[in-house]
Chains A and B, each alone.
Chain A
């Protein structure tokens, strides 16, 4: 009797398990895809963060370099140093990696960020101790004059697929 029962079995389990397997496979594949997507998103974000940090480092480099400059006349539109009257390039459309008219900053993790500095003229200064004194055609009382500079720094990411551009205004005394 049992044997006849066996013979009468119709085999739905296989199909079911195949179906289950299919469902599980689909689940597995789709979760794989999400993970890969996640992973890609993370690495893209990381690259963007990295290039921002590297650009930031270039900005600091530029500020250090700026503090080391003693004469304003080096801002003559060459070597990445632009004067007041020079037309500085548009930082978003220019080709940073090949343009000669920018300064290469210290490479970070094999990535070389770049920057340029533009002299913007006298820095508007808040009230100074000495500004109550009215003088003639000299720098009699020794009051110094502060100059403003615009620094634009750019960095690609590690793969070259991302880029970040930051701009800062900087004032220093001359």
Chain B
């Protein structure tokens, strides 16, 4: 039921679409996230907060105002006893008053430059703004009562520096605070640089009094800085929110903790406790300190965390930090399923306990510990037990001479295996080499500082520099001990005095813990061979915040072996973008309105684009969304940790001077304008790296020496816009954003002789074709000839066209970029053409290859006859869709005359140009195309899906009988697109099929090769290696290798041929959650499918197919001369030296002669 159909205009197809249905053999719904992230383990975090009495205090540091409070405390306001109700008198001459009621002196006190936010709930909604005439003393405890901030009150117990403690009824106005102003009216923090001003609201009127001159004036509004100005009512409201939500240490800590935790994703398991909590049963075991065992951070457990945070009491009790950390350590030693290692803690689930779950404790305190522990000895000064091949050595910066310190407690639970009964499978990190179950401690201080610099202490872990830890008898020494605990357990430490920094830093700690970086892209280089200025370009993403980065690394050559990748990036595009001054140096964001390129401004967008941006609101919201997309933060929209979105599958492309090998003759250009002319004219073109990101844009970054990493422009394809729920650009701004793919396809760039945007004159142009991969059924083309002309004003010259499933419903999701070449469309009709398989899940099921005339869409549509063609191979309702294509030139004139592609049913199809310029199938006939080969396994034969472009080379397996056309088609099978693929255990294979004109080949026509694995040790490194063996080739139509030695192994990358060897990496998704991402093999087969006949991998020392890499899925390798760079899904970059020899005859000494006079 297949038919070959071409030149069928899109409008005709509308009539065929009577009952559109998804193809049954389609792969299913493509995943919205990288598949290997499904197996990431939620870390355990025990958060212990300080509930000591000092948390009630309203000043930082201790004793700055010589009183505990600055407002008369309400009875029981924190659910326990309060301290002395004496407060500093409001006299301007009272230094205690100025010390406590000026934020420059007491960072806890009201700072008019800050807009105080009410507390955050688990879903980022906020508590209500408080009423200034009834501001709660503690919003978490309604019994604590309220204070009317708008009227005056009487108080009896005072303290001042001149009169000391004194008792007298005095009236005070609650809204009273001091600021220090310099001569030009700016707020400063140093009293020596300005004068104190008293701000007071009395009876609804605002007064400002200069304490030096003593004059007082009324104010109608406040202008605190260029950014912050308020009316009197707003100022009172802000003060009221500060009073209720931020006034004391515990209130400010709750605000900061709530802010930080409400930003966290659900893939954490959080337990919590407080220092002075008495003993009770936690998940069946009695313990103090801990009030809840770890639970998934979602649903009611998430809500309970916030409820406890905001409503728990603060008794007037001490700060037993050491005992608290000990309790957390004991908790992590539990082995029962209800404990922290259980599959579902709190339940008796029999599911296996994971060996690779990380355990953290966060210890928060506002002061100096007051307890002691025994039995730990000088743990950090003593070598640790040997675990595996690791043993803690008591060296700086870990060791000290003291016993039973907080650092000793932290070290005890780090250097000892907390679960000796579990395998040690924790993944070590750069900072933390521990692979056994251990506890990592983070110290978090509120307004306290020690004497050791935290940065140098943590730097010393790597450098081994000497850190002298002071004694723990002093207050500063106790804070140093908290830092020391963080260092010992390879955790972290920060101390912040002001609540804003506190929230930000705490958020950073949590972010560190759940941070998972990865990559599915390959690497690219700016040179073809290793040079001193060679840069390696790669991309990565971070799944916590769905941000990404494009980076460039320099390479350093080595005497032996592959070059070293420099330790630090030459540049990182995301950091540069975040640092950019968006107001004075705005980004160039362009899109297309369907007919021409436009800048991303409201008025220029078309109706559908506006509908997307105003989704759920009005035009003003749409405009705000534009601001957001341009990089500005907008209140109420998703907070981004970085402006550059995640780059997952898009391998960057480096473009500098024209570097194609087109001939200098018609039909390549014209005689007056040859490719050589273009090459000469663009010899010094600014190098640019192009990459697609899932922030909705294709980004162009400068790769220039001086300007590397600067974003030149971002292009948002029109087909990405959508006014549906959870799609389109508005979804990116949604605080509830769940990851989706946007512009995820690797771009492809080539030089073509074509008209420009809007059918402007024909010329040589460098064009880029990009797409959305799983993000949308479409591709777009840009003219990137001249990077100096990239700007919003020239948007109409940059955007060429887009082609989507609206133009032809047989267009599906494509996973590899099109190929670009010059092809013959008719007699003497040569056109620059983009070839691509129609992809998966197309609205109308079909399997075929699109040929787009690059000039066909320049008029804004694809409806004209001859704008594009579709070579159909399978039009049945269960057609699976065609994967990526390989374009070939068999005649050597650089004009494309044949294409190969595979489909998900395991068929390999080929099409070629006919004498009259039509394109049709090579095998079978137009009305009944036949595949070259169908890949199947087992009995009954199960098809093996082909998801990548086959590699095609001249057939070196000489068989004189089979010469036409004498091609060897190399490809692997396997699918990794939808969620079910991760668990598929179907056996996949690698094939080399000889195309000699025979059709409908199957496995029976091929020679079998079988894999054998072994372990070897070379230079003390263990490798799992593979050999492939089989009969000497004897006239078969090819060969196959089954990957039956490993479960779930498959090929999802296009193979690469170097010399006489074919390189391909396999992907083995893991079903063991403790093997992050999975593993894979780096392989090179001989072109006969057997072990190469030379030592391809010098480091293995003998002839092998390849070796296994574990820890992540290897992506497609990039070659730089004889060196191979392979990124892995866990962000490692593997470097290998490969030796493929030369093309023998063409290398070595070419000539010899003696020179005479």
Q: Please list the residues of chain A having a beta carbon within 8 angstroms of any beta carbon in chain B.
A: 52, 63, 70-73, 91-92, 123, 125-148, 152, 164-174
Contacts and interface: CB of A to CB of B under 8 A. Distances in A.
B1130 to A, nearest CB: 24
A126 B653 contact: no
A72 B1120 CA distance: 12
B1155 A92 contact: yes
Contacts of A171: 1142, 1146-1148, 1150
B1149 A170 contact: yes
Interface in B498-518: none
Interface in B1135-1157: 1140, 1142-1143, 1145-1157
Given A132-B952, A133-B953, 6 more contacts: A134-B821, A137-B655, A165-B1154, A169-B1150, A170-B1149, A172-B1148
B1056 interface: yes
A99 to B, nearest CB: 16
B1057 A130 contact: yes
Contacts of A73: 531-533
Contacts of B655: 137
B557 interface: yes
Contact of B954 (A132, A145, A172): A132
Contacts of A137: 653-655, 659-660, 748-750
Contacts of A134: 819, 821, 887-889, 894, 896
Contact of B1058 (A125, A143, A167): A143
Contacts of B750: 136-137
Contacts of A126: 1143, 1145-1146
Contact of B557 (A71, A144, A148, A170): A71
30 contacts: A70-B530, A70-B1121, A71-B530, A91-B1155, A123-B1146, A125-B1143, A126-B1143, A128-B1143, A129-B1057, A130-B953, A131-B892, A136-B653, A136-B820, A137-B659, A137-B748, A139-B528, A139-B1119, A144-B1058, A144-B1140, A145-B528, A146-B1147, A166-B1152, A166-B1153, A167-B1152, A171-B1147, A172-B1147, A173-B1122, A174-B528, A174-B529, A174-B1122
B1060 interface: yes
A153 to B, nearest CB: 10
B1119 A144 contact: yes
Contacts of B952: 132-133
A108 to B, nearest CB: 18
Interface in B886-906: 886-890, 892, 894, 896
Contact of A145 (B529, B557, B1153): B529
A172 B1148 CA distance: 6
A143 B750 CA distance: 17
A132 B1119 contact: no
A73 B817 CA distance: 33
B891 to A, nearest CB: 9
A134 B892 CA distance: 10
Contacts of B888: 132-134
B1150 A138 contact: no
B956 interface: yes
B896 A127 contact: no
Nearest to A174: B529
Contacts of A125: 1143, 1146
A143 B951 CA distance: 12
B1063 interface: yes
Nearest to A172: B1147
B1058 A166 contact: no
A92 B563 CA distance: 39
A74 to B, nearest CB: 8
Interface of B: 524-525, 528-534, 557, 563, 653-655, 659-660, 748-750, 817, 819-821, 886-890, 892, 894, 896, 951-954, 956, 967-968, 1054, 1056-1060, 1063, 1087, 1117-1119, 1121-1122, 1140, 1142-1143, 1145-1157
A102 to B, nearest CB: 15
B887 A133 contact: yes
A4 B293 CA distance: 157
Contacts of B749: 136-137
A66 to B, nearest CB: 10
Contacts of B533: 73
B1153 A167 contact: yes
Contacts of B1155: 91-92, 152, 165-167
Contacts of A152: 1155
A139 B889 CA distance: 17
B42 to A, nearest CB: 39
Given A166-B1153, A166-B1155, A71 B1057 contact: no
A11 B1137 CA distance: 97
Nearest to B748: A136
A72 B530 CA distance: 7
A71 B888 CA distance: 31
B1024 to A, nearest CB: 24
Nearest to B555: A71
B886 A133 contact: yes
A172 B1142 contact: yes
Nearest to B954: A129
A131 B892 CA distance: 8
B1119 A142 contact: yes
Given A72-B531, A132-B952, A133-B886, A146 B1146 contact: yes
Contacts of A91: 1155
Nearest to A164: B1154
Contacts of B890: 132
Nearest to B767: A136
Nearest to A52: B1154
B1142 A146 contact: yes
A165 B1121 CA distance: 32
Contacts of A174: 528-530, 1121-1122
Nearest to B651: A138
A167 B1155 CA distance: 7
A143 B1063 CA distance: 11
B1058 A138 contact: no
Contacts of B953: 129-130, 132-133
Nearest to B891: A132
Nearest to B1087: A129
Q: Which are the 5 A-B pairs with shortest beta-carbon distances? A: A142-B1056, A174-B529, A129-B953, A169-B1150, A137-B749
Contacts of B1121: 70, 144, 173-174
A145 B1059 CA distance: 10
A130 B817 CA distance: 20
A57 to B, nearest CB: 14
B1146 A142 contact: no
Contacts of B1142: 146, 171-173
A168 B1156 CA distance: 14
Point out which of A132, A136, A139 has the most chain B C-beta atoms below 10 A from its C-beta. Answer: A136
Point out which of B953, B1118, B1153 has the most chain A C-beta atoms below 10 A from its C-beta. Answer: B953
Given A70-B530, A137-B750, A168 B1146 contact: no
Nearest to A173: B1142
A92 B1155 CA distance: 7
A72 to B, nearest CB: 6
A117 to B, nearest CB: 13
A123 B1145 CA distance: 12
Nearest to B1118: A139
Point out which of B886, B1150, B1157 has the most chain A C-beta atoms below 10 A from its C-beta. Answer: B1150
Given A136-B819, A137-B653, A169-B1149, A143 B954 contact: no
Contacts of A142: 1056-1058, 1063, 1117, 1119
B303 to A, nearest CB: 51
A147 B659 CA distance: 16
Nearest to B746: A138
A91 B1153 CA distance: 13
Point out which of B529, B889, B894, B1119 has the most chain A C-beta atoms below 10 A from its C-beta. Answer: B529
Nearest to B898: A132
Nearest to A60: B1149
A166 B1155 CA distance: 6
Nearest to A123: B1146
